[in-house]
Amino acid sequence: MAASPRIARRAAAAALGVFTVVLGLEAALRVGALFARPTRAPAADAEVAFFGDSHIFGLWVDQHEALPAQVEKLSARTPRPIRTRNAGTAGLPSWLVVDDALADLARSAPRALVVRAGVNNPATARPEERSWLDELRVVKLGRIVAARLRGTADQTAARLRPLEHGPPPPPSSELVRAATPGLRADLARLAAAAKPRSIPVVVVGYSRRQGLLPQLNQALRDAAAELGLRFVGTTAAEDAASAAGRLSEAYFSDGHPAALGYALEATLVIPALAEFGIGTPEGLPSAAELAPIWKPEPAAREPIAGTMEVVYDSELRGARGVRSVRVRSVPGARGRLVIGLAGKGFAYRDWWLPLDVETALAAGSVAPLEFVLSQDGCAEVDLPSALRERLPEDALVTALLLEPGDREVSHCFLPMLHLADGSRAADEYQPTPHRGAPPGR
């Protein structure tokens, strides 16, 4: 009998601990969402308004590199430039994207709408199915994880496999059904509001780099055809990047376009808008013509300088004995560690990173190792034990830095170190400013 009170106290303490963790995670997700919202221009400032999720907003890229900006820049080469506005918001399902567009139409008169939505539908309950629990971002995160786990192991591997290795197998029918319910109804609401005002709607598909997206694209294509909307697929953009040997530079392995990918997609969107008298394809390069010659814009600022040091446990050595990484640089700067294996490399903003993109992204998704430098310019970033246990001996680490107060532009990587012994990697494994073609790796 004496053990019962102790068991009850332990159970209560465990429940309190779980509640605290969930509450902290919910707060972190809500704070993080604030940094994934674009600064929007006034409603009357554009001819074409772009609505959608992170694939319109431009996750992993700066706003001047996202699809709306690329359409505006490339159309400036033609006799009839197009002004655009980015009204995308990361994480929105199709019905909230349409809600945003309808609210915008109530106070503005764009000449056309460009929409890309649907990929986040599995993570959010539809309004008619929603309870108070569905407002919690922790619940949304759980739905995303559950949707991923419902796929087979082969499908999970296919999401990380470069497109050159062949198209991924289709996901489970359950996953497809979770992604597309109500998609046609959402687009129908938008069409019903736009057509009486003679505002054309262009629906843009997604990259094929995730197993789910080909089926989602088909749902978008079918809905657009039934509703008389213009559908633009991105197959030609991906094929052009692949033919030029720049697919990993054009698309991240999670399916989001990089700056090059958005530029290639813009060559497909502009002719679609021209069908409605907005802009012209005259003087516009095709995706196949642009892919080999495209160059990113020069960095607007000089990189930040800094140093790193690997700290080890006293009893362990090697990569798995790493306790933390010390970073020294500009006081108040924010940043995050990037961990991966040496590989063919990938472009990230204005930098070329000689890390295998899959391992780098996997490490980032498992443990986002973020930090803020103190007033003396120092930070020590602890590596979680779960991450340390899975580190290969040849893992490399670098740090991405942002200037104080900079919420968008990531523009500096510090020197790369071997986690096994803390030594600086050879020169060919250093992050380098990226201008145009990959630096010979």
pLDDT recorded at residue 140: 54
Q: Which of 58, 80, 54 is nearest to 69 (CA)?
A: 58
Tell me, rounded to whole angstroms, the distance of Cα 18 from its chain centroid: 29
Average pLDDT over residues 9-15: 71
Identify whether the C-beta of residue 429 lies closer than 8 Å to the C-beta of residue 354: yes
User: What value does the mean pLDDT of the chain take?
Assistant: 77
Question: Length of the chain in residues, anyone?
Answer: 441
pLDDT recorded at residue 132: 52
Average pLDDT over residues 382-386: 83
Residue predicted with more confidence, 262 or 44? 262
pLDDT recorded at residue 148: 40
Centre a 10 Å sphere on the Cβ of residue 173 and count the other Cβ atoms it contains.
9
Report the half-sphere exposure of 367 (CA within 13 A, side-chain side).
18
Q: Write out pLDDT tens, residues 20-44.
A: 766 666 666 555 544 444 444 333 3
Q: What whole-number distance in Å separates Cα of residue 347 and Cα of residue 413?
A: 12
What domains sit in the chain, N to C, each tagged with a CATH number?
38-290 (3.40.50.1110), 307-433 (2.60.40)
At 370 the three-state DSSP class reads strand
Q: At what angle do helices 3-34 and 137-150 cross, to 10 degrees?
A: 90
Choose from 138-142, 177-181, 395-399 the range with maximum mean pLDDT: 395-399
Beta strands in 99-222 (DSSP E): 112-116, 201-204
pLDDT recorded at residue 59: 81
Identify whether the C-beta of residue 406 lies closer than 8 Å to the C-beta of residue 63: no
Q: How confident is the model at residue 151 (pLDDT cuts 50, 70, 90)?
A: very low
pLDDT recorded at residue 165: 31
- Residue 409 pLDDT greater than 90, yes or no: no
Out of 51-65, 170-184, 346-360, 381-395, least confident range: 170-184
What does the block give as tokens for 204? 């843009």
Element (H, E) at 247: helix 247-250
Q: What whole-number distance in Å separates Cα of residue 334 and Cα of residue 407?
A: 9
Residue predicted with more confidence, 156 or 437? 437
Residue predicted with more confidence, 136 or 68? 68
Beta strands in 128-287 (DSSP E): 201-204, 230-232
Q: Write out pLDDT tens, residues 303-336.
A: 677 889 999 987 777 888 888 999 998 888 888 8
Identify whether the C-beta of residue 400 lies closer than 8 Å to the C-beta of residue 415: no
Say what the pTM is: 0.58
Q: Write out pLDDT tens, residues 110-145.
A: 999 999 999 888 666 666 655 555 556 555 555 544
Phi, psi for 352 (deg, rounded to 5): -105, 120
Q: How confident is the model at residue 3 (pLDDT cuts 50, 70, 90)?
A: low
pLDDT recorded at residue 38: 42
Out of 144-148, 213-217, 249-253, least confident range: 144-148
Q: What whole-number distance in Å separates Cα of residue 393 and Cα of residue 371?
A: 24
pLDDT recorded at residue 49: 97
Which H, E and C letters describe 189-226, residue by residue? Answer: HHHHHHHHHCCCEEEECCCCCCCCHHHHHHHHHHHHHH
Tell me which amino acid residue 132 is. W
